[in-house]
Amino acid sequence: MEIVLTEINDPNIVLETITSKKQYLENKSPEKIKQKIAKPPKAKKEDNNKSTVYNLYNDNQRINFISKMIDLPLGSRKAAKVARELGINVRTAQRWWSHYLETEELPFKKTTRITGRHSQFTEEPQRFVKQMVVDNPQTTVDEVLENVTSEFKDLTISRTQL
């Protein structure tokens, strides 16, 4: 059993009540303080508000990737390796390759844009024309064109478009 000192007779020793770890570390003698190893600060996550940068690959890059993959022997076909050589995102290349294996078609980008001019012939003029034809099935294209352009002043439409 250890001997515990319960009385302090030395007037140079001062006892303080320590209530927190911070106080303890401040009052601890310097020879007992271990040097803390400085850890590099953790990288903060970037805000989700920032826009993501997308790579736009042209059809030549897609064709080049697929042809290189086909040229490789079966055992060494690694989409990631070929993608890195060509500067293509690895996951994108893997998606292209799986698409090619499933469909045997080149993974061309499907355009979502409508090419050409937007038609002025919207739903309202279309309903008007349909109603005209229902009311009088004997009506001619010229009569329909004349009535539509008189009813809708801003609309310019040709016979072929009608």
pLDDT at site 41 = 61
Task: Report the 10 Å Cβ neighbour count for 15.
Answer: 6
Binned average pLDDT, 10 residues per bin, the chain of 162 residues: 70 75 75 54 58 79 89 82 91 90 81 67 84 88 87 80 72
pLDDT at site 91 = 92
Question: Euclidean distance between the first and final Cα of the chain, in Å?
Answer: 107
pLDDT digits (tens, 9 = 90+) for 3-25: 766 677 777 777 777 778 787 77
pLDDT at site 59 = 85
Give the pair of three-digit tokens for residue 128: 């008007």
Closest alpha carbon to 109 in 55, 51, 37: 55
pLDDT at site 23 = 79
pLDDT at site 31 = 60
Give the pair of three-digit tokens for residue 89: 């995102």
pLDDT digits (tens, 9 = 90+) for 95-108: 989 988 898 887 77
